[in-house]
Structure 1
Amino acid sequence: MNSASAPGAMQPASDLVAGTGSSKGQVLAWASWDWGSAAFNAVMTTFVFTVYLTSNAFGGEDSASAVLGGALAVAGFAIALLAPVTGQRSDAGGRRKLWLGVNSAAVAILTALCFFVFPHPEFLLLGVSLIALGNVFFEFAGVNYNAMLAQVSTPRNIGKVSGFGWGAGYLGGIVALLIVLQLFVQPAFEWFGASTQDSLNIRLVAVFSALWFLVFALPVLFAVPEVPRSGQAARLGLAASYRLLFRRIKAIYATSPHTIYFLLASAVFRDGLAAVFTFGGIIAAGTFGFALSQVIFFAIFGNVVAAVGAVIGGFLDDKVGPKAVITGSLVGLLIAGTAILALGNGNYSLFGMEWAGSTTFWVFGLFLCLFVGPAQSSSRAYLARLAPHGESGELFGLYATTGRAVSFLAPALFTLCITVATPLVPAGQAQRWGILGIMVVLLAGLLVLLPVKAPERAPIAVVPAS
């Protein structure tokens, strides 16, 4: 912070203003990380490996889903506790790019270790632990990656660049899932990796995902320059870093309270967005009876729709503002999710047509995908607009923390709804009611967001020296 300024002074400088934009090559290199991250998001945590973990081999959909939800809730607590300080220290120490690389490597290693999760109930705890710990390091990497958005964009195109990154992530998911489908799940030719003995094919998917993420995470580490070192937080101990963090939060609240309000609102709805992807493949398999190959086909189409939604949302973001995009997306998600919950897996007549349960999930599941991308992209662009110069990492650390501080909500409500429904519904039907927990979180996020006003950008919140 500028020690020469009076405490509480407002200095409306941001990384977007201070920076000069970037080359197309830097934008592509930055988006490459999003492309590679799909191997963890789409393949491991949504459509393939968590579906494997919640299969009958590990004790059944209902019980294994509850264990997975609990592990992710614990991971969320760890992220909430540590993310803002890690962002603060990487900003001050000029190590944003370094820590992006370290945390990305940790995700790749943990993903590769999932190869050792054999299809037996006693390996469930190992599997969910690796996925949960991978989520922790993935979020730490995401803090630094998201903070780079201000380095590779300008105020006029930040929405488009953010949307392009999300779109690249979804398209990367499509390519990765197609490779997984053709090599491991429904192999186009015979090879040792196609063997289903001890689920070798699915365990090799983890190795593939680790390599995919690692390779595509590298370009940003070479193309985007490191942030300058300021040194203050880097020289502080951990306890002192938290004291500085709390003083900065207090100062931001005094100078730009709606920045804090947005962090709180986005915390709630982003937890619901994360749950849509985390539990989407699990619900498709457990509730609607999709085979793994069908889950992957749905994921491919879903990622196409999500990529289109993210790109369109990015253009709309620069035209009408991020709040309008987020609000509209949340309304769309609530409508689609409620339809899936209400219609379920039965056969019924709707709009003069006969619908089967799988049709329900295909239609309204794709609507969910359409709206998730814009909400995520505009939320990131929203905060990047607010970030004071030199504090993007810390603010995105707060973004991760406020999100993860309540990240137990969707997994916990998902688990609670399943638990409550289990004795009340036929066997194997309880998982469907987990959707209700996700919809409650999305609705709460929308209601908290509505009164939030968006300032042009947050001023630098100068804090008094301790």
Structure 2
Amino acid sequence: MTSVISPSVPEPRLLSRQVLAWGLWDWGSAAFNAVVTTFVFTAYLTGNPAFGGEAFVSAQLSWWIAGAGVVIALLAPITGQRADRSGHRKLWLGVNTYLVVAITAGLAVVAPKPDLLWVGLFLLAAGNVFFEFASVNYNAMLGQISTPSTIGKISGFGWGLGYVAGIVLLLFLYVTLIGPDVGMFGITSADGWDVRVSMLIAAAWLGLFAIPVLRVVPETPGTAAPGAKIGFFASYRKLGRDLVALWRNDRTTAKFLIASAIFRDGLAGVFTFAGVLAIGTFGFSGGDVLIFGVAANIVAGVVTIASGRLDDRFGARTVILASLIGLVTFGIILFFLHDAGTTLFWIFGLGLAAFVGPAQSASRSFLARIIPEGKEGEMFGLYATTGRAVSFIAPAAFGLFISVGGAQYFGILGLVLVLALGLALMIPVRTPAAKA
């Protein structure tokens, strides 16, 4: 896969019809990222005693998410490859997106009863799998709608829409359903209806904003020769050959892909378990978590945009290392001061949010600087693949440390360990002099 524009696609502008349609999928995805997996549904499971003790539910949640990560690791590396070869990238984006929509709506059946905990965990894990499969094809579209001179702006535009949408949707749900004693249509928290109806709204949000990209951005022709097919297991053999060739011919890029896969999983873990920790360890209510989520998205968005200047001046590697050091330091402080209450989490939790965005953004720009000319699409595809291949590590570490320590706050150490490992692997990675 190469980062080129189809001859039928005109030179893109930042707010062209295709770019806006593509970015609206990111806007819609906030329904799953912010509402389902971070600040509302997962917090509902771990914070409601009807489902079981917080440590027990938190550990089960982490293991189910880790299991989903294993499925993603086994299947995601070849989904984008096969979609590119067949020319069905947009088709599979639509199929997987609307499976996520159906699963999100299905979460509305999870009433606060012990026997329904497993239903909620299964649907949450399945949603993670199909969301990642959708993201493979969505991210692959970036090369269709951008050029080397606009890819950073357009990618950042989509990323920014996701942050903003998270704020808008969380505020809407808090004001209309979760915050008031009696929400719209007379809905209350009795039997978990405020959260359960929120899942229906989240499903509708994602389903609605996924429509433009499926209607506006054209399907791409397949890369395989007519009649040439590659079997399921042959796809893995091809992937293996590509990885071996990369390690032999471009060791710096290979090392960066490994390091970034680890620390990006740690970054994802910070957002995945932030709401869970806020309620279970630091004494937040469900409404407090929503307000914190809004503040975290604002901080992450603003600091990420501002960090671009530092990236250009001091280099992406410097921004990545500084961000990871900050994340590890703040995580250790939160662990040792876990009984200090909500104020501490407001300070250092928002500090974590401030470091996550710059690390994500600088990681992408670092790779953009070292990619050999003509290999942009292939390398960004591998960048996405390696991240998904290890997406079970942070949830597994979170759950393992809770199981060993016997309390939820021990999960913080699991996330810190993953981030520290990514930091250690990133330190020896240097930007080639010719690309600096």
Q: What TM-score do the two structures reach when normalised by structure 1?
A: 0.85
Q: 2:132 aligns with which of 129, 136, 139?
A: 139
The structure 2 residue matched to 1:365, chosen from 337, 349, 362, is: 349
1:224 aligns with 2:214: no
Specify the alignment match of 1:71 in structure 2: 64
1:84 aligns with 2:77: yes
2: distance between equivalents of 1:381 and 1:90? 25
Distance 1:454 1:79, change over 3 A: farther
Residue 96 of structure 1, aligned match among 76, 83, 89: 89
Counterpart amino acid of residue 296 in structure 1: L
How far apart, CA to CA, are the structure 2 residues paired with 1:332 and 1:88?
Answer: 36
Distance 2:70 2:286 in 1: 31
Seen in structure 2, the aligned counterparts of structure 1 residues 27 and 445 have a Cα distance that, compared at 3 Å, is same
CA distance in 1, matches of 2:125, 2:155: 26
Aligned pair partner of 2:306 in 309, 312, 315: 312
The Cα of 1:120 is off from its aligned counterpart by: 0.7
Which whole-Å deviations, capped at 9, do the CAs of 1:124-180 have from their partners, x for residues lacking one? 111111111111111111112222233333334433333332221111000000111
- Choose from 308, 331, 338 the match for 1:337: 331
Quick one: which of 395, 404, 412 aligns to 1:411?
A: 395
CA distance in 1, matches of 2:306, 2:91: 32
Number of the residue aligned with 2:12: 22
CA shift for structure 1 position 230: 1.5
Does 1:43 find its partner at 2:52?
Answer: no
Aligned residues: 429
String of CA shifts for 1:377-424, please: whole Å, max 9, x gaps: 3334444663875883x65554344334333322222112212222xx
Q: Which residue matches 2:45? A: 53
Contact 2:90/2:214 (CA < 8 Å) preserved in 1? Answer: yes
Q: Select which of 126, 145, 168 maps to 1:175.
A: 168
Match of 2:231? Answer: 237
Q: Render the CA deviation track for 1:242-265: whole Å, top value 9, x for unaligned.
A: 122222222222332222222211
Contact 2:182 2:188 in 1 (8 A): no
Compared with structure 1, are the counterparts of its residues 389 and 78 closer, same or farther at alpha carbon in structure 2 (3 Å cutoff)? farther
Distance in 2 between residues matched to 1:390 and 1:102, nearest whole Å: 28
Match of 1:415, as an amino acid? Answer: G
Which sections of structure 1, spanning at least 5 residues, go unmatched? 2-12, 347-356, 423-429, 459-466
Residue aligned with 1:15, SS: coil
Residues 47-446 of structure 1: pairs in structure 2 closer than 5 A:
47-55=39-47, 56-187=49-180, 190-192=183-185, 194-231=187-224, 235-317=229-311, 320-346=314-340, 357-383=341-367, 386=371, 392=377, 395-396=379-380, 398-422=382-406, 430-446=407-423
Give the distance between the partners of 1:387 and 1:142, measured in 2 at CA: 24
Q: Identity rate of aligned residues, in percent?
A: 52
Please give the alpha-carbon distance, in whole angstroms, between the structure 2 residues aligned to 1:69 and 1:382. 30
SS in 2 for 1:54: helix
Cα pair 2:21 2:213 within 8 Å, conserved: yes
Contact kept? 1:284, 1:290, Cα under 8 Å: yes
Letter in structure 2 aligned against 1:359: T
In structure 1, what is the Cα distance between the partners aligned to 2:201 and 2:346?
Answer: 27
**Cα distance in structure 2, aligned partners of 1:15 and 1:456:** 26
CA distance in 2, matches of 1:311, 1:27: 19
Displacement, 1:217? 1.9
Could you say what the CA RMSD is over the residues aligned between the two structures, in angstroms?
2.7
Instruction: Tell me if the contact between 2:177 and 2:183 (Cα under 8 Å) persists in the aligned partners.
Output: no
Aligned to 1:10: none
DSSP 3-state at the match of 2:73: helix
Separation (CA, whole Å) in 2 of partners of 1:140 and 1:447: 29
CA contact (8 A) 1:66 1:415 kept: yes
Aligned-pair CA distance for 1:446:
1.0
Cα distance between partner residues in 2 of 1:404 and 1:143 = 9
Aligned amino acid, residue 411 of structure 1: P
Task: Tell me the CA shift for residue 92 of structure 1.
Answer: 1.7
Relative to structure 2, which stretch is displaced further, 288-297 or 135-144? 135-144
Higher mean Cα deviation, 284-293 or 82-91? Answer: 82-91
In 2, Cα distance between equivalents of 1:451 and 1:181: 45
Which 10-residue stretch deviates more, 180-189 or 105-114? 180-189
Offset at residue 197 of structure 1 (A): 2.7
Indicate if the aligned counterparts of 1:79 and 1:401 stay in contact, CA closer than 8 A: no
Structure 1 residues 344-393: Cα deviation after superposition (integer angstroms, max 9, x where no partner): 222xxxxxxxxxx211100111111111112223334444663875883x
| Whole-Å separation in 2 of the counterparts to 1:212 and 1:317 | 34
Indicate conservation of the 8 Å contact 1:106/1:137, yes or no.
yes
Question: SS of the counterpart of 1:208?
Answer: helix
104 and 230 in structure 1: CA distance in 2 versus 1, 3 angstrom threshold: same
Would you say the 8 A contact 2:3–2:144 is kept in 1? Answer: no
Other structure's SS at 1:235 match: coil
Going from structure 1 to structure 2, the CA distance change for 1:329 and 1:191 (only over 3 Å counts) comes to same
Moved more, 208-217 or 337-346: 337-346
Secondary structure class of the residue paired with 1:275: helix
Instruction: Write the letter of the residue equivalent to 2:132.
Output: E
**Residues 123 and 27 of structure 1, relative CA distance in 2, 3 Å threshold:** same
Q: After alignment, is 175-184 or 196-205 more displaced?
A: 196-205
Q: Give 1:183 shift.
A: 1.7
